[in-house]
Amino acid sequence: MKSLKSTRAEIICVGSELLLGDIADTNTQYLARRLSALGIDLHFSTAVGDNLGRLTDCLHRAVSRSELIITTGGLGPTDDDITREAIAGLVHETPVVDVQLSEDLRRFFELRQMEMTTNNLKQASLIPSARPIRNLQGTAPGWWVARETGSIIALPGPPGELHQMWETEIEPLLKSGAVIVSRTLKLFDISESQVDAALKPLTPSSNPTVAVYAKQDGIYVRITAKAADNRAVQKAISPIETKVRQLLGDSIWGVDEQTQESVAASLLIKLGLSLAVGETITGGRLSAMLTSAEDSEKWFCGALILSARQSKLTAAKIANRVAEEFACDLAVAVCGEPVVDSSPAMDEIAVAIRDVRTASTSVATHRLRQTRSRTLGSYYALHHLRRYLESLSCTPPAVIELSK
């Protein structure tokens, strides 16, 4: 197997339940992240049903273009568990029951006082070019198949089993001497096309790479680098991040795992301020997001949620009412009204922030499609709350207009 610095990896997830939408494929997400941390490049990912012919086709295609092939699923005892058969056919070898694996399997069932049926022995089979991968969480050991041009690693589908096997039995043997690290900068109230245009000088780079993604909570700019170690990869990312920040400035509100609500919560704690919420069009979503933040009990005073279409109160009036009712330092309110004769149907949402200490209220408005008012309305409220708090962390409390 060639050095993993240049290894191309491929994942094949086996199971008709994936294609029917019965379960979500979380294994690919998990393995992709683990491979990236090892500095191994994942080039392809495929989902295929429980069909021997189609799985064999996938494996043939995989071995023609990838050195490390990882399969998940299809290692059970039933007739539709066909991953072993497909791999055996690929390498032209015949599976036979391994004595030690069969004893381990019998012991597994005996300890649990369960009957072991004959078809379970299928899980104790091996081919000459494979070595077993211990599974301490279930009955299906994996296969690690050695080939001249690389390896095939077959893992069971249940995530609990797969994670344990990967982290204890596989990952320690796949250390590549390289790492892949990503840094994600998060933006809001700016379009994907604007970000892409601003970053045009950076996006052709191959290492680090710069990519732009539209997400529910805004636009993400992901900088990804591959290098020999963490220090070298951070050295590669740092100047690119500096350039991105110079180009996009105040549109950037967070990085990596930060959320708008977590950033707002941190600022509230830093400033020692309390907050209450009023909502109509967002239906409690804003309050739920804020209270999900760590230590929200230290600053969250309460929420008032009114009917989206029945309340005639403005955002400013709701913010004032909430501030009085909950005796807080700050109140944020969001409400909305349909835009008459709009096509597609639009809402005009208003976000108001009441600062009790300065007796000031600021309001900003946005127009959103009605299908997205509840979600985006909550994010716009968080956006304006965060910006107001950021202004307070730099200057004394004052009347500050929110940008529209």
Same domain, yes or no, for 110 and 185?
A: no
Same domain, yes or no, for 155 and 237?
A: no
Domain boundary among 232, 255, 278: 255
Residue 352: inside a domain: yes
DSSP, residue by residue, 271-334: HT--EEEEESTTTTHHHHHHHTSTTGGGTEEEEEE--TTT----HHHHHHHHHHHHT-SEEEEE
Q: How much is the pLDDT for 162? A: 96
| Backbone angles phi and psi of 179, in degrees to 5 | -135, 150
Residue 36: inside a domain: yes
Residue 342: inside a domain: yes
Give the CATH number of the domain where residue 351 resides: 3.90.950.20
Domain boundary among 122, 152, 173: 173
Same domain, yes or no, for 371 and 292?
A: yes
Same domain, yes or no, for 286 and 375?
A: yes
Same domain, yes or no, for 16 and 164?
A: yes
Same domain, yes or no, for 278 and 295?
A: yes
Residue 29: inside a domain: yes
Same domain, yes or no, for 140 and 34?
A: yes
Q: How much is the pLDDT for 6? A: 64
Same domain, yes or no, for 11 and 122?
A: yes
Q: How much is the pLDDT for 178? A: 76
Give the CATH number of the domain where residue 206 resides: 3.30.70.2860
Same domain, yes or no, for 169 and 111?
A: yes
Q: Are 274 and 365 in contact (CB under 8 A)?
A: no
Residue 403: inside a domain: no
Residue 213: inside a domain: yes
Same domain, yes or no, for 112 and 33?
A: yes
Same domain, yes or no, for 27 and 122?
A: yes
CA atoms of 236 and 179, how far apart (whole Å): 12
Q: Which domain holds residue 27?
A: 4-173
CA atoms of 305 and 154, how far apart (whole Å): 51
CA atoms of 191 and 260, how far apart (whole Å): 17
Residue 122: inside a domain: yes
Same domain, yes or no, for 195 and 247?
A: yes
Give the CATH number of the domain where residue 150 resides: 3.40.980.10
Q: Which of 269, 274, 289, 270 is nearest to 334 (CA)?
A: 289
Give the chain's domain count.
3
pLDDT values of the chain reduced to their tens digit, one per residue, 404 residues: 343 346 899 999 999 999 999 999 999 999 999 998 888 899 999 999 999 999 999 999 999 999 999 999 999 899 899 999 999 999 999 999 989 998 888 888 888 888 888 888 889 999 999 999 999 888 889 999 988 888 999 999 999 999 999 999 999 888 766 778 889 999 999 999 999 999 998 888 788 999 999 998 999 999 999 888 888 989 999 999 999 999 998 899 999 999 999 999 999 999 999 999 999 999 999 999 999 999 999 999 999 999 876 667 899 999 999 999 999 999 999 999 999 999 999 999 999 999 999 999 999 999 999 999 999 999 999 999 999 999 998 743 333 343 43
Peptide bond into 344 cis (omega under 30): yes
Residue 404: inside a domain: no
Domain boundary among 144, 173, 202: 173
Joined together, the tokens standing for residue 389 give: 């708090």
